[in-house]
Amino acid sequence: MGILRSGILGPVRNKTGSVVGRVRNKVNVVTGLHKISNKPHTKSQLKAQQKLGLLNGFMLEIDVLVNIGFKYYIKNNSAVNVAVSYNYDHAFLIEGEDIVLNYPQLVYSRGHIVTPESPEVESDAGNITYRWLPQNQSAYCQFTDMASFLVYNAAKKTYVILQNATNRYAQGHTIEMPEGFLGDTLHCYMNFNSADGKKAGGSMYIGAVVL
């Protein structure tokens, strides 16, 4: 039985015949009863599912960054879903029969805070070091802007995340990597957010380094 708690225009809960009412992301939704199909998935459908699984899995693992980086673009949706939608068209490479993520093209944050100037990353003695050049201050570029870093080890499917680790004025930051990372290729990203956390900046792929 469907329940109208606020009259005919109010939210609907449960099922009435072939109509299902529910609340999704704080929005009242009425849909038809889903039908189970016995048709096998097409190749294009399987590829789309594989792509979505890869990209969604990546963004979910770094949701602490995504939730800040895409929070101003949420409209009745989650930050991860918005990030997946934004990245989907440029997020993949085809390697033979395999679909892999296009790491240099992935974006976990968007916003007006200015990106770092000429950023670089290098590895040494089990650490990786980010460096960037000084920039003139402006409304969206302050010495106090805080840098966040993402390092992804694709071989081990492991993420190293540092939020608000240092400020723009420092012009660099060194991160100690886990011992098991030695010899692995690491994909390195960073972005700046305002010191008060109210404004985000676009994330940048800085490069890939072998530890």
Query: What does the pLDDT look like over 152-200, one tens digit per residue?
Result: 999 999 999 999 999 999 999 999 999 999 999 999 999 999 999 999 9
- Beta partners for residue 159, in sequence order: 152
Q: What does R_g of the chain's alpha carbons equal in angstroms? A: 22
Is the residue at 80 inside a domain? yes
Q: Determine the pLDDT at residue 17.
A: 58
Q: Determine the pLDDT at residue 25.
A: 56
Q: Pairing between strand 185-193 and 127-133?
A: unpaired
pLDDT at 31 over 90: no
DSSP letter for 75, please: S
Is the residue at 8 inside a domain? no
What value does the mean pLDDT of the chain take?
87
Is the residue at 86 inside a domain? yes
Sign of the Cα pseudo-torsion (37, 42, 46, 48, in order): negative
Is the residue at 21 inside a domain? no
The C-alpha atoms of residue 160 and residue 177 are separated, in whole angstroms, by 8
Residue with structure tokens 């529910």?
22
Is the residue at 30 inside a domain? no
The C-alpha atoms of residue 93 and residue 99 are separated, in whole angstroms, by 6
Range of the domain at 154: 43-210
- pLDDT, tens only, 38-86: 666 676 677 778 889 999 999 999 999 999 999 999 888 899 999 999 9
Is the residue at 27 inside a domain? no
Residue with structure tokens 């693992």?
61
pLDDT at 1 over 50: no
Number of domains composing the chain: 1
More confident residue, 4 or 68: 68
CATH code at position 66: 2.60.40.10
